Structures are given as structure tokens and as C-alpha cells.
């Protein structure tokens, strides 16, 4: 797993609630565009779910 992917997953673990990509970008320091790509990839792999539009969280 890429270093940035691990940071994104860690941000969701710490939050304990669904977050928007922008919120993840703020907490991780990763560019929002990059966070969006990572979230899309992790969601496709089943590592993240989208409980409501634009929000993502751990399954």
C-alpha cells in the first residue's frame, strides 16, 4: 500500500465518521486532487464505502 493511501485510511480511522475528500486533505496534508484519486481507488477495492453522497468512511 502506498504511503499516502495509508495516511488516508488512518485519517478515516481517527475521525471515526464519514468524511469528505477535502476534510481528509486538510488532516493529512495531501493535495485534495490526490486524495480524491486515492479515495476512488480504495472505494473500488472495497476498503472504503460511501454512506451518503460525497462522504466516505471505513466499511
pTM score, two decimals? 0.89
The pLDDT tens digits for 21-44 are: 999 999 999 999 999 999 999 999
Tell me what pLDDT residue 1 has.
60
Backbone angles phi, psi at 10, to 5 degrees: -65, -40
Q: Is 29 helix (H, G, I), strand (E, B) or coil?
A: coil
Q: Structural domains in the chain?
A: 3-57 (1.10.10.10)
Amino acid at each position: 500500500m502506498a504511503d499516502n493511501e495509508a495516511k488516508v485510511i488512518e485519517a478515516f480511522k481517527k475521525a471515526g465518521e464519514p468524511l469528505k475528500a477535502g476534510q481528509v486533505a486538510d488532516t493529512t496534508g495531501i493535495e485534495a486532487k490526490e486524495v480524491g484519486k486515492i479515495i476512488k481507488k480504495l472505494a473500488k477495492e472495497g476498503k472504503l464505502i460511501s454512506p451518503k453522497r460525497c462522504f466516505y468512511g471505513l466499511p
